Structure 1
Amino acid sequence: MSSPVNVLDLSRPAVRTLHLAWVAFFITFVVWFSHAPLMAHIRSAFDLSNQQLKALLILNVALTIPARIVVGMLVDRFGPRLVFSLLLVCSSFFCWGFAFATSYEMLALFRFLGGFVGAGFVIGIRLIGEWFPARQVGMAQGIYGGWGNFGSAAAAMSLPTLALAYGGDDGWRYAIASTGVVSLCYGVFFYLQARNTPKGSTYFKPKRHGGLEVSTWKDFYLYIAMTLPLYIALAVMSWRLSPANLSLLGQTATYAMYTVLAVLFVFQVSQIWRVNRDHLRAGVPDYDRYAFRQVAALDWAYFVTFGSELAVVSMLPLFFMETFALDAVTAGLLASGFAFMNLVARPSGGYFSDRFGRKKSLSVLIAGLAVGYLVMSLVDSGWWIPAAVAATMACSFFVQAGEGAVFAMVPLVKRRMTGQIAGMVGAYGNVGAVTYLTALTFVDASSFFLIIAGSAALCFFVVQFISEPRGQMQETLPDGTVQLIDLT
């Protein structure tokens, strides 16, 4: 029987760690999306075209895909305490570079580098997995993800007012720079207060670095196949910035990006081979095996859940404005309900997983998501506006609860590689956003929602390949002793 997490019980070190973690994640999202509510000021200051603004939005998420993979490796090797602290401190400098940029080229560079802060989410997944038992880890992860994810909404609500308080033509600069100050200070505070594991617990590290260790040759080939969409998404971003679209990159630079991505893919495959060749040839002991299909299914589940959330949040205000002939402020307020659901939906998804089972909960939530987007595809100007908002928020609940259910399972796959698994799953969320937003450029809103609903229906069948975590996970201590970790 699972038990809920009492977030007010600060006498428990685990609860204190949870609060340290979600606040750190919250700050990363404030920094990451600090530019969004101030884009009108930025456009005015630099006299930017719509194409240049779109390019900034793409650059803001471009680096996050590889960053989540890299940060996942780092956190498994060096621990969440050090990596989260360094991420917060380093991100503050990227934030200040953007805030005080003097040209569009500088804006673009620091917006691109600032995307690295979006990888902060991965770090807390490993940290929370270390501090909470399996019967509570789902709800704890949901609180961490849901409350931290609210940072983007908090930035939207607070930074325009802060810019106004600073006043003058540069008020927006000081508002964005202030988030960098908060990030720097909290990075130091986090290092002083956080600990990687409870007292007396072992922080298990991968035996090899450079890629996930897999258990069979079949998993090895599946791992390589699942790596390819990450590079395809980056190639699509490069295409979006090419002369054929936004023209931020020249044709030569675009071809150079394609070449770099191809080389990086070959390099990553070589690293996967280096990490896995010896122990696969020797044979992996039964006690150390895990099924990579678990990771692959969670990748696609997050592709559909978080990927669709990022895409829908980007287009929903305009959808409401055009469908119901509303002004921008009213449309934005109505659309904000989609993001606000994070506060309760993601923890609920984690709790459902703890209480009713991981696979069953994820399956139900993915099915509900598919139905939710199917209903949204039917919304048109003839709908009663409150009914359209209710349909949007109901769909949003299943989307974000599904995200919570995904990461309720991530820490239960293989403890010593939780950071890397979380990094890959998280990166697939960004791949989903790129895919759906690219599709949106070719179809209308109704077809866009139908595409998501159809992909969710396919994902429902993929999720059926997941095995419910049961019994115990086994990890090996440095002295060779096998330690058992409960999965229920």
Structure 2
Amino acid sequence: MSTNSAPSSATAQPELRGQFPQVLLATLASAVGFWAWMLIAPIQKYYSEGMNLSEGQISLMLATPVLVGALGRIVTGALTDRFGARKMFTVVLLASVPAVLLVALAGTIGSFVLLIVAGTLLGIAGTIFAVGVPFSSAWYEPKRRGFANGVFGMGMIGTAVSAFFTPRLLSGLGYFGTHLFIAGLLVAMAALVWFFLRESPAWTPNAQPLVPKVMGALKLPITWQMSFLYGIVFGGFVAFSTFLPKYLTTIYPDQVDPVGAGTRTALFAVAAVIARPIGGVLADKFGPKVIALISLAGIVSLAYIVGQQPEEGILTGTVFILMASAMGLGMGAVFAWIGPSTPPEKVGAVSGVVAAAGGLGGYFPPLAMGATYHAETNSYALGLWLLVLVGTFALVVAGMLRGSRDKAA
């Protein structure tokens, strides 16, 4: 047995050379996918005014891509285990192109029904996250997977890019030109992935059928535990990234215009993106449970402050940035928790389910915010109180879970 193990241990490290550039390329692909996924939200005012949409219609328009992007991650994660990230990144990026063009057509002809159909297809772009998690994990040893998934998680910067650049492209290139540009970017990124991305030598295909694989993941307690926590931290991030432009222009109509709202949303997303790898590294060092508790405590306290609707300015901006940072820390902690707590052959399936739960967590808040909006007082306070209550419950649940620091060491 010793003669067989020696060569493998000697060659394991050289085989993983070039791991960081590979994860960075995957991160860039994820960023482009996130940009496409969040294409509608930054310019929601274009649709709401052009189509004369109600609060409920706006909420549905914003939430539809999130729902499909969430549920689709289960399938995408399992398919990545079978076919590899290189193929799946390419497929997801190219499959997002028709969706982007269909959104362009819907906005051009002013069809809300077609926009919902297009938004449904746009959710394909959001499934890209489930491709990169098993890919990044396979490139790093278990004790550094919090770092690896934290770096890949920075692909969420695509949300910030979308919030910042999409309204500006709309002004510079026009509506249809903006969508053509993003479609071209998806094609270019797919080409880069196809020619330069390579699978980790540690990765092996798993040809187990999708349904048994997902059912196997659902039988693990860690899947349900992390799905709930990720539904709060990532779901909250997606919900605010989607709804924040609408929230700011509604609550502070005299101080914030669509471009300004996009800038603030971009800063929100950047804060979460920066915090995510920090959360992964801290989770590797101190244990994911500790970082998750800090994250949830921050989300609860800051959501309470937002619910008070403070005057727009430095306080409001600081609170949103701190909330995004707390969510980012939690995202890094949750995926650092998954790695050492999950059988290696099930990491892709579990990650897909957890990622889906996170996206699903971002689906309901915009609908809840639209349904609980009080027009007479111009307030979303009730919806924010729901976040405080759910976050408090998650804090209690996380405190009761068994930590995995001993397994991660």
TM interval, short-chain normalised: 0.7 to 0.9
* 1:63 paired to 2:102: no
**Within 5 Å, which residues of 2 pair with 1:308-457?**
308-317=236-245, 319-320=247-248, 326-329=254-257, 330=260, 333-334=263-264, 336-381=266-311, 385-412=313-340, 413-440=342-369, 441-442=371-372, 444-457=379-392
Deviation for aligned residue 1:178: 1.6
Tell me the SS of whatever aligns to 1:60.
Answer: helix
CA distance in 2, matches of 1:301, 1:137: 18
1:352-404 superposed Cα distances (whole Å, 9 cap, x missing partner): 111111222222222232222233334434xx832232222222211121111
Which deviates further from its counterpart, 326-335 or 416-425?
Answer: 326-335
Kept after mapping to 1: 8 A contact 2:63/2:366: no
**Within 5 Å, which residues of 2 pair with 1:4-83?**
12-41=17-46, 47-50=51-54, 52-83=57-88
1:323-378 superposed Cα distances (whole Å, 9 cap, x missing partner): 56643325554454322202311111111111111222222222232222233334
CA distance in 2, matches of 1:429, 1:411: 17
Q: 1:297 aligns with which of 200, 220, 225?
A: 225
**Within 5 Å, which residues of 2 pair with 1:7-406?**
12-41=17-46, 47-50=51-54, 52-101=57-106, 102=109, 104=111, 105-146=113-154, 148-166=155-173, 171-198=174-201, 201-203=202-204, 205=206, 207-212=208-213, 223=219, 292-317=220-245, 319-320=247-248, 326-329=254-257, 330=260, 333-334=263-264, 336-381=266-311, 385-406=313-334
CA distance in 2, matches of 1:42, 1:453: 31
Deviation for aligned residue 1:173: 1.0
TM-score (norm 2): 0.83
Kept after mapping to 2: 8 A contact 1:73/1:211: no
Kept after mapping to 2: 8 A contact 1:73/1:210: no
Deviation for aligned residue 1:36: 3.2
Distance 1:12 1:417, change over 3 A: same
Kept after mapping to 1: 8 A contact 2:299/2:323: yes
Kept after mapping to 1: 8 A contact 2:81/2:348: yes
CA distance in 2, matches of 1:420, 1:92: 26
Distance 1:403 1:90, change over 3 A: same
CA distance in 1, matches of 2:265, 2:116: 28
CA distance in 2, matches of 1:342, 1:446: 23
Deviation for aligned residue 1:315: 4.1
Letter in 1 for 2:177: Y
Deviation for aligned residue 1:145: 1.2
Distance 1:461 1:378, change over 3 A: same
Aligned to 1:465: 401
Kept after mapping to 2: 8 A contact 1:38/1:172: no
Deviation for aligned residue 1:406: 1.1
Tell me the SS of whatever aligns to 2:211.
Answer: coil
CA distance in 1, matches of 2:135, 2:187: 20
Kept after mapping to 1: 8 A contact 2:41/2:245: no
Which deviates further from its counterpart, 339-348 or 428-437?
Answer: 428-437
CA distance in 1, matches of 2:309, 2:167: 31
Tell me the SS of whatever aligns to 1:341.
Answer: helix
Aligned to 2:6: none
Kept after mapping to 1: 8 A contact 2:42/2:245: no
Kept after mapping to 2: 8 A contact 1:206/1:417: no
Deviation for aligned residue 1:43: 5.9
Deviation for aligned residue 1:121: 0.5
Distance 1:328 1:211, change over 3 A: farther
Which deviates further from its counterpart, 356-365 or 307-316?
Answer: 307-316
Which residues of structure 2 form unaligned runs of 5+? 1-15, 374-378
CA distance in 1, matches of 2:251, 2:59: 22
CA distance in 2, matches of 1:152, 1:84: 18
Kept after mapping to 1: 8 A contact 2:84/2:205: no
| Amino-acid identity (%) | 21
Distance 1:314 1:107, change over 3 A: closer
Which residues of structure 1 form unaligned runs of 5+? 1-10, 224-291, 472-486
Letter in 1 for 2:169: L
Tell me the SS of whatever aligns to 1:63.
Answer: helix
Distance 1:470 1:196, change over 3 A: farther
